[in-house]
């Protein structure tokens, strides 16, 4: 049973960058990093949501269900996850990046996003609950 509004991951001191580029570039030119709070929560029954807030902003800069409609790229060396739309037909693309200060925070975030994306696929994976990434139960 999924509990709505349950937080599975919460980090108060990550960094966030968002760049818009044309022509499919990598989005690195003009990167500006801001301190951000990053959370992965159950907001709806069927999906976990990514919520990113910047202290100076009154609304979240990212508030979306974690599904397979975004491409994610993980950079373990930089402790960064980049996300952009999977629609390659767009003329401009916004690349969102989240960077963590520790390997533990980074891998906890990657695990939560991975778990949510696997659950979001149509048909699901029958043994997904055995991964125990839901934060429930103990490891055997």
In the chain the domains, ranked by start, together with CATH numbers, are: 7-22+30-121 (2.30.29.30)
- Per-residue pLDDT tens over the stretch 49-101: 999 999 988 899 999 988 878 889 999 999 999 998 877 677 778 899 999 99
Residue 60's CB: how many other CB atoms inside 10 A?
16
Helix (H, G, I), strand (E, B) or coil at 9: strand
- Per-residue pLDDT tens over the stretch 25-38: 454 556 899 999 99
Q: What is the pTM of this model?
A: 0.78
């Amino acid at each position: 049973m999924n509990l709505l509004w349950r937080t599975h991951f919460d980090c108060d001191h990550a960094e966030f960058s968002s760049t818009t580029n044309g022509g499919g570039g990598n989005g690195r030119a003009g990167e500006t990093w801001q301190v951000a709070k990053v959370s992965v929560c159950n907001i709806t029954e069927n999906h976990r949501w990514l919520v990113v807030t910047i202290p100076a902003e009154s609304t979240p800069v990212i508030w979306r269900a974690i599904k397979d409609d975004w491409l994610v790229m993980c950079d373990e060396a930089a402790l960064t996850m980049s996300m952009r739309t999977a629609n390659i037909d767009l003329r401009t693309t916004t690349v969102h990046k989240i960077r963590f200060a520790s390997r533990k925070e980074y891998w906890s975030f990657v695990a939560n996003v991975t778990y949510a994306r696997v659950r979001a696929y149509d048909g699901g994976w029958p043994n997904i609950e055995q991964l125990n990434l839901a934060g429930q139960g103990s490891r055997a």
